[in-house]
């Protein structure tokens, strides 16, 4: 296997493919490890010829070891996402997210990787009423998915403390953007809302729609991953909130998506919202404190939710041929 400077697990997925695209644009040599369970080859179509793609599963330690050969920087985006899916099938979520992350850390340690950036999640905070969420708060995960991300963070800290592997854990807050799967039953709220609006269907809201989220455009997430690669040792062994530091409720989010669709000249008749019962594991409110990531990684969000939605809704409309 030829040497590559960067390895991105889950690089055929939503966030991973955006990160790979940016690394390739910067002229970096990149390897992608993905089992294509949720990732898609079409997400990498524009740059596939410029990367080293390995189809494999992070649950296999030997696969992880081979993928880390000759690598200096690892971005571990590979995971089985979705709170609802983890509630339905906690064992698979545990095996992929906890076992897979441990495999990647072992492989990275033994390959003497310089930096290991781990994709964590704001879900680790649970439904504590205190806002904004700050990294020093006691985590109270409400789902197997959230617990798996907290476990992954803890492993990252341990591998820095015990073995000197410089790890960075990024707690993503509701990332969105083009390529986020709108067809899955486990799709996030923005793909779901966008799909419903563009097709003229009734949007589904679980709960009363007053719940709030701190949405983060995927280009900002890419930027903070790159900052993690370039960080000093002082930043290692820590976990950081990654967010826009602005929250909106789901009703307003839906209105913003409709506004983005109208900017495209599309007729988007508003269908009555289909309110469904709150789902198990869903949190009420979310807002991030981003002082720590700003201090250690120099991260300042550049994209507003509205700007991100304009790009995202336009991408979905193009996929639908509208």
Per-residue pLDDT tens over the stretch 296-315: 999 999 999 999 999 999 99
Q: Cβ contacts of residue 233 below 8 Å, gap of 6+?
A: 166
Q: What percent of the chain has pLDDT over 90?
A: 82
Please check the confidence at residue 282 and state whether its pLDDT lies above 80.
Answer: no
Candidates 6, 125, 145, 316; catalytic one: 145
Which of 69, 79, 126 lies closest to 102, judged by CA?
Answer: 79
Cα–Cα–Cα angle for 139, 143, 145, rounded to 5 degrees? 90
Find tokens 């296997």 and name the residue.
1
For the chain, the domains span 6-176+216-243+289-302
Q: Where are the alpha helices (DSSP H) in 50-170?
A: 61-68, 83-88, 90-93, 100-110, 144-163
Residue 185 has pLDDT above 60, yes or no: no
- Catalytic-residue membership of 6: no
* pLDDT confidence band for 186 (50 / 70 / 90): very low
What sign results for the dihedral spanned by CA atoms 33, 38, 44, 45? Answer: positive
Residue 175 above 60 pLDDT? yes
User: How does pLDDT run across 98-156, given as a tens digit for each residue?
Assistant: 999 999 999 999 999 999 999 999 999 988 889 999 999 999 999 999 999 999 999 99
User: Residue 184 — pLDDT band, cuts 50, 70, 90?
Assistant: low
Regarding predicted confidence, which is higher, 192 or 127?
Answer: 192
**Under CATH, which number does the domain 6-176+216-243+289-302 receive?**
3.40.50.720
- What is the arithmetic mean of pLDDT over 78-86? 89
* Cα Rg of the chain (Å, integer): 19
What's the pTM value of the predicted model, to 2 decimals?
A: 0.93
> How far is 253 from 217, CA to CA, in rounded Å?
14
């Amino acid at each position: 296997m030829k040497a590559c400077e960067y390895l991105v697990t889950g690089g055929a997925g939503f966030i991973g493919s955006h990160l790979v695209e940016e690394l390739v644009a910067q002229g970096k040599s990149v390897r992608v490890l993905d089992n294509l369970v949720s990732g898609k080859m079409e997400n990498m179509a524009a740059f596939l010829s410029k990367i080293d793609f390995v189809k494999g599963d992070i649950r296999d330690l030997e696969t992880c070891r081979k993928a880390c050969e000759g690598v200096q920087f690892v971005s571990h985006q590979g995971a089985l996402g979705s709170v609802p899916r983890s509630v339905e099938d906690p064992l698979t979520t545990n095996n992929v997210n906890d076992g897979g992350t441990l495999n990647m850390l072992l492989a990275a340690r033994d390959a003497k990787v310089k930096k290991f950036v781990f994709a964590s999640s704001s879900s680790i905070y649970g439904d504590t009423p205190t806002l904004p969420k700050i990294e020093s708060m006691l985590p109270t995960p409400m789902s197997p998915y959230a617990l798996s991300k907290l476990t992954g963070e803890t492993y990252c800290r341990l591998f820095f403390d015990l073995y000197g592997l410089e790890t960075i854990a990024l707690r993503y807050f509701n990332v969105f953007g083009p390529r986020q799967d709108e067809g899955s039953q486990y799709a996030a709220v923005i793909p779901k809302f966008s799909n419903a609006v563009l097709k003229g269907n009734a949007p589904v809201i679980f709960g009363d729609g007053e719940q709030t989220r701190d949405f983060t455009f995927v280009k900002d997430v890419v930027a903070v991953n790159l900052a993690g690669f370039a960080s000093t040792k002082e930043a290692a062994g820590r976990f950081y909130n990654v967010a826009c530091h602005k929250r909106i409720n789901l009703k307003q989010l839906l209105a913003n998506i409709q506004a983005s669709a109208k900017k495209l000249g599309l007729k988007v008749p508003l269908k009555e919202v289909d309110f469904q019962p709150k789902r198990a594991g869903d949190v009420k409110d979310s807002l991030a404190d981003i002082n720590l990531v700003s201090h250690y990684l120099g991260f300042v969000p550049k994209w507003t939710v509205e700007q991100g939605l304009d790009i995202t809704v336009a991408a979905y409309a193009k996929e639908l041929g509208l």
